[in-house]
């Protein structure tokens, strides 16, 4: 599909350009994280990617070390005291997602696509129905259709429905729409928190 080839080319070009232009910002964020709390700069976690393959996603660490074994485990809330001061700011601005630029360069992710779920939640890889598995035909994205349609306010079944709809009706025009809506959602700070948000499994991984 020509549009997917163009999409991959744009992903690589934009990710490489962004990493070069934002190198100073990435260094400052890394320093802020180290000064704010003990632990690694990056949060690394196994996720399900294209065709259900497992890969390691990168984010800036926004929670205390060992967060997944405290409080509500992999679930979190808006005022979760496991989130660090710097981490709270990174989450509000979505800057914690920037390390995924490296995932894009590695060919594991795209800027836009279904968000990669945990390997065990909401289902293990073989727990998705044939229709739901359609979402795994594309590379997972930093943002996606489900995120601009409700993000963490949606139930998982609703998120998967939007992911499948995205794959079934893909176009570069749809990607552009999602990109614009993503910027709007970030500025408006909509649907950032939800009880089923789960980004904690390996928060205590050592660097």
Model pLDDT, residue 135:
98
Give a yes or no: residue 194 inside a domain: no
Question: What's the structural domain count of the chain?
Answer: 1
How far from 137 is each of 132, 153, 158, CA to CA, in Å?
10, 25, 18
Give a yes or no: residue 201 inside a domain: no
Question: What is the pTM (predicted TM-score) of this model?
Answer: 0.86
Q: How many helices (H) and strands (E) does the chain have?
A: 7, 4
Residue ranges making up the domain that contains 135: 2-188
- Provide the CA 18 distance to its chain's centre, in angstroms: 17
Answer for the pair 46, 119: CB distance below 8 angstroms, yes or no: yes
Burial of 81 (0-12, 13-18, 19+ CB in 10 A): exposed
Give a yes or no: residue 82 inside a domain: yes
Give a yes or no: residue 151 inside a domain: yes
Torsion of CA 9, 18, 61, 163, to 10 degrees: -40
Angle, helices 172-188/2-21, rounded to nearest 10 degrees: 40
3-state SS, residue 63: strand
Give a yes or no: residue 154 inside a domain: yes
Give a yes or no: residue 30 inside a domain: yes
Count the alpha carbons within 13 Å of 5 in the hemisphere toward its beta carbon. Answer: 2
| CA proximity to 79, closest of 160, 195, 172 | 195
Per-residue pLDDT of the chain (207 residues; tens, 9 = 90+): 899 999 999 999 999 999 999 999 999 999 999 999 999 999 999 999 999 999 999 999 999 887 776 766 666 666 788 999 999 999 988 899 999 999 999 999 999 999 999 999 999 999 999 999 999 999 999 999 999 998 777 899 999 999 999 999 999 999 999 999 999 888 886 544 443 343 443 333 322
Answer for the pair 184, 143: CB distance below 8 angstroms, yes or no: no
- Provide the CA 154 distance to its chain's centre, in angstroms: 15
Give a yes or no: residue 113 inside a domain: yes
| CA proximity to 135, closest of 198, 52, 57 | 52
Give a yes or no: residue 197 inside a domain: no
């Amino acid at each position: 599909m020509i549009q997917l080839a163009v999409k991959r080319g744009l992903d690589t070009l934009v990710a490489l350009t962004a990493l070069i232009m934002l190198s100073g910002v990435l260094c400052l964020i890394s320093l802020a994280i180290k000064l704010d709390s003990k632990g690694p700069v990056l949060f690394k976690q196994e996720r399900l990617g294209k065709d259900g393959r497992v890969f390691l996603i990168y984010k800036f660490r926004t929670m205390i070390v060992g967060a997944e074994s405290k409080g509500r485990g992999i679930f979190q809330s808006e005022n979760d005291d496991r989130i660090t001061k710097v981490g709270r700011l990174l989450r509000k601005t979505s800057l914690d997602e920037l390390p995924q630029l490296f995932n894009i360069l590695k060919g594991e992710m795209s800027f836009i696509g279904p968000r990669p779920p945990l390997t065990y939640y909401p289902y293990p890889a073989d727990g998705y129905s044939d229709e739901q598995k359609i979402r795994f035909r594309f590379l997972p994205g930093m943002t996606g259709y489900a995120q601009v349609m409700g993000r963490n306010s949606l139930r998982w079944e609703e998120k998967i429905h939007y992911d499948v709809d995205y794959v079934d009706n893909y176009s570069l025009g749809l990607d552009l729409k999602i990109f614009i809506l993503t910027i709007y959602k970030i500025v408006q700070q909509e649907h950032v928190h939800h009880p089923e948000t789960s980004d904690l499994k390996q928060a205590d991984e050592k660097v």
